[in-house]
Structure 1
Amino acid sequence: MNSQNTALVVIDIVNGCCHEQCEDGNLKFGKIRSMVPGLISFIKQFKETIKGQVIYTKITPWTKEFLPPNLRELYTDPACVYYSTDTTGFSEKFYEVQPEADDIVVTKNTYDTFADNAFRQILWDKGIKYLVITGVFTDGCVLATVCGGFQAGCNFVILKDLIETTDEQVRQELSGYLMRYTFPIMYGKTMTSKEFIDGWGGNTS
């Protein structure tokens, strides 16, 4: 890993996945909001220490007209349906994080960022093969992006203190299993952000 072939990916830190105004029923984001200040601090550290590319992902409006056919079909099941009712654009705006001019922003309409061919092309054009993963939801778009990226040939570092999911107990438990077993055994190095910065050597591998 070195500064040229390593990118930080910040997944879906948007109001629709973070802001208290977008909470509904069991969908609570308290743990996510508690994680965000540490993420903001790490982004600054990454730029200063690693000097690699930072890539933010965000979502299209999460409504029927913007989503792909497979999600629309999935959402015909009342147990799965998760359309946004927001029509103001508030849900898609970044929450607390502020991309800078040299950062890349990718907008997606499904869970896996690698479903976007433009995202893949950005990585290949820049020679990026190592992705440092942060963001939400651990058991949703983070998981899907890691699976899609691994299949595409990327290598991963997953920062377990900077990925998070909703407050619901079952999702918290699932996220714990992913961080303790699935991610480190099947997809990539799984560590804290401090361990990553402290262990950075900047050597090509």
Structure 2
Amino acid sequence: MEQNQQNTALLVMDMQCGISGMMAPPVIALLTTTIASTIKHARSHGIPVIYVTISFRAGLPEISNNNKSFSAGKERFKTLNMEEFARILPELAPQGEEVVVVKRRFSAFTGSDLEVNLRAAGIQHIVLTGVSTSGVVLSTLREAADKDYQITVLADCCADGDEEVHRVLVEKVFPRQAEILTAEEWCGKNADS
């Protein structure tokens, strides 16, 4: 099926206060500016914007000691104000009735109602943005591909703490399952559809 404005959604993933603080300030500033312009374009063309954040309940019942990534940070997570940690960056804040889903792992689908929202809106094509390329973007892309979604990754709307990992994923791994575009290319492509 061909992508169009009616079956496409822009996902803004983990662009939240607690995650952005882990990235270099110049990187997060440029990324935020680029994503903000992409969100503006999507809104002006009737493309839904869906926000994905990661958060945990008090006591962290979702974090298993078997999960190497999350259990390593469990003590740090216990000290955080989860409401502030999960707050979406003000420059990218949702408007009106835009959907915000909360996930419990790297993939935007895990522990969230993302798929229910996508199905309800008839979305078959997702456009991925966010931090980090090797975390939420990779995990969401893989799961979305297995669920038969069409996928676009906006390379300059994603970032990773390791620039080489970002480059390898965007140039060599992601193209096997997704279309890779810049924000400008995607906006230009959707200006006419």
Class of the TM-score when normalised by the shorter of the 2 chains: 0.7 to 0.9
For the 8 Å contact 2:101–2:112, the answer to whether it is kept is no
The answer to whether the 8 Å contact 1:112/1:141 transfers is yes
- How many residues end up aligned between the 2 structures? 186
Can you give the 5+ residue segments of structure 2 that lack an aligned partner in the other structure? none
CA distance in 2, matches of 1:163, 1:11: 9
Task: Flag the 1:67–1:39 CA change in 2: closer, same or farther, 3 A.
Answer: same
CA-to-aligned-CA distance 1:158-193 (integer Å, 9 cap, x gap): 000101122xxxx21111100111111x11110101
Alignment of 1:63-102 (within 5 A): 65-69=60-64, 72-75=65-68, 81-83=72-74, 84=77, 85-87=79-81, 89-96=83-90, 97-102=92-97
Distance across 2 between alignment mates of 1:138 and 1:66 = 26
SS of 1:90's partner is helix
Is contact 2:53–2:103 with CA below 8 Å preserved after alignment? yes
Alignment of structure 1 residues 125-164 onto 2, 5 Å: 125-164=120-159
Task: Check conservation: 1:61, 1:89, Cα contact below 8 A.
Answer: no
Q: What TM-score results when the alignment is normalised by the length of structure 2?
A: 0.87
The partner residue of 2:189 within 169, 175, 199 is 199
Render the CA deviation track for 1:24-77: whole Å, top value 9, x for unaligned.
xxx64541232101211110111113x1111000111387614343xx323489
SS of match in other structure, 2:170? helix
Equivalent position of 1:188 in the other structure: 178
Q: Give the superposed CA RMSD.
A: 2.2
Percent identity, please.
Answer: 23
Unpaired stretches in structure 1, ≥5 consecutive residues: none
TM-score of the two chains, using structure 1 as the length reference:
0.82
* 8 Å Cα contact 1:17/1:29 also seen in 2: no
Query: For the residues of structure 2 that align with 1:64 and 1:148, how far apart are their CA atoms?
Result: 28
